[in-house]
Amino acid sequence: MYIITLLFQLVIVLNMFFILIVIFRERRDVGSSWAWLLVLLFIPLLGFILYLLFGQNLRRYHLFQWEDRKKIKSEKMLGTQLMQIRNHQFQFHNQATKDSEDLVYMHLIHGVVLTEDNSVELFTDGQEKFDMLFKDLQGAKDHIHLQYYIIKNDQLGKKLIEVLAKKAKEGVKVRVLYDDLGSRRLTKRFFKKLRDSGGIVEAFFPSKFRLINLRLNYRNHRKLVIIDGKIGYVGGFNIGNEYLGKNQKFGYWRDTHLRIQGTAVHSKQTRFILDWNQASHSQNITYSPEYFPEPTFQGNIGIQIVSSGPDSEWEHIKNGFIKMIQLAKKSVFIQTPYFIPDTSLLDSLRIACFSGVKVKIMIPNKPDHICVYWATLSYIGELLKAGATVYIYDDGFIHAKTLIIDEKISSVGTANIDVRSFKLDFEVNAFLYDEGFAQRLTETFQKDIKVSRELTLDEYAKFPLWIRFKESIARLVSPLL
């Protein structure tokens, strides 16, 4: 009994220490800070455990080695671009990029180079995306860099390992990086054939103990594939049968993924190398020319590859979304599986509605995370009151993460419109400055509307009290989700 009392007193003391850290050291937003303070004060034992697992703020750590990337030719363009835009001397390749000068400049300030020689293929169907991906993998000559949040030990996952092992035997350098939590059901046996063939596999933020991971709350949600430094993939699809529509619960899986050729692939390569070197330690990748070849395929789409994560002081992707919404004159189209915006993004969307901009948001009709689903409905209700149009996707599960402004500029990637993507997860998005591509995304959005139903304000107002109760509780804990 004495030992239990002593341990409880120790927990109280540690909680007081954590409270001081939350208030004076971490500088979180007010909502998140209050949520953690209440948890630590009123449920001390559970709060202690939750803070250890989910509460640490990574922004005070330097996780990535940014210095060496300055050796890359495309990265050397950064200073020149900044100076030219400041002096109004930059020659934009198209009107969409010129109209987005403020957005481009904001990303440049944060170290994101603009490339304007890209071509982009759009995939919204898993089978089509993976058919093309496997074709590209089989054609690799020098290296394959593959990074996913979720890789499953099923038919698609095993096929991937077979292809990668074959390429590794041919002498292609194969590196696979997966998130330790997202792919938690994988075992070493799953990768054995690939490793035996010469491939290298690493986990991001692995648990040092089977059941305890003090960095559990910070997930690498990025999905990147770079092939020979010439072809790059980014988007919402993970690796598994369900992304081919073979899961009975979700049915058809509607997502958005990009295949990019051009200098923007160098930015993806840089992002992969940074993540790999953080996870690997002993087998770092150098920024050698073989990983950054001159593009052989020329396009004309402007792209900035923007990443964000809990290690950064600034929420780069969220700030990009807000700036895009501020630029909108006619329309804002959003597709996201989870909608838990913070106050700044929510206010930006409200202001757009009040300014006569058509704001349309599409969300799934079924939850894959129940608490997030109810919190989503709560925020959706606020935008309905502001005049937004909301669609519930009924043809399976929509996992796409897209933002389209005025059919001119767009963003596609891994970040959802939620606090977790903005503050806690490592994400990457392509910001695309091209009217033709934005119109293709808009056409896809309009096509999706045909298999969706509109959620009206009248319908939302008639939700019963028990749904309102669920929404309120979910919203209360949303800063912790």
Catalytic residues: 221, 223, 228, 399, 401, 406
Cα 382 from Cα 355, distance rounded (Å): 16
Q: What is the DSSP string of 148-210?
A: ES-B-SSHHHHHHHHHHHHHHHTT-EEEEEEETTTTTT--GGGGHHHHHTT-EEEEES--SSS
- Is residue 121 within 8 Å of residue 233, measured between CB atoms? no
Cα–Cα distances (Å) from 77 to 35, 81, 302, 362, in that order, read: 43, 6, 14, 37
Cite the DSSP H helix spans in 395-464: 419, 435-449, 457-461
Cα 311 from Cα 465, distance rounded (Å): 40
Q: Quick one: which of 452, 456, 474, 459 has its CA closest to 373?
A: 474
Beta strand spans in 200-267 (E): 200-204, 224-227, 231-235, 253-261
- Is residue 401 within 8 Å of residue 412, measured between CB atoms? yes
Task: Give the DSSP letter of residue 198.
Answer: T
Query: Which residues lie closer than 8 Å to 91 by C-beta, 6 or more apart?
Result: 84
Residues in the chain: 481
- Is residue 388 within 8 Å of residue 454, measured between CB atoms? no
**Hey, what amino acid is at 283?**
Q
Task: Give the DSSP letter of residue 197.
Answer: T
First to last CA, the chain: 35
* Opening angle at CA 417, ends 411 and 421, nearest 5: 95
Cα 39 from Cα 280, distance rounded (Å): 35
Which pair of tokens denotes residue 26? 């971490």
Cα 349 from Cα 324, distance rounded (Å): 11
* Opening angle at CA 32, ends 104 and 214, nearest 5: 95
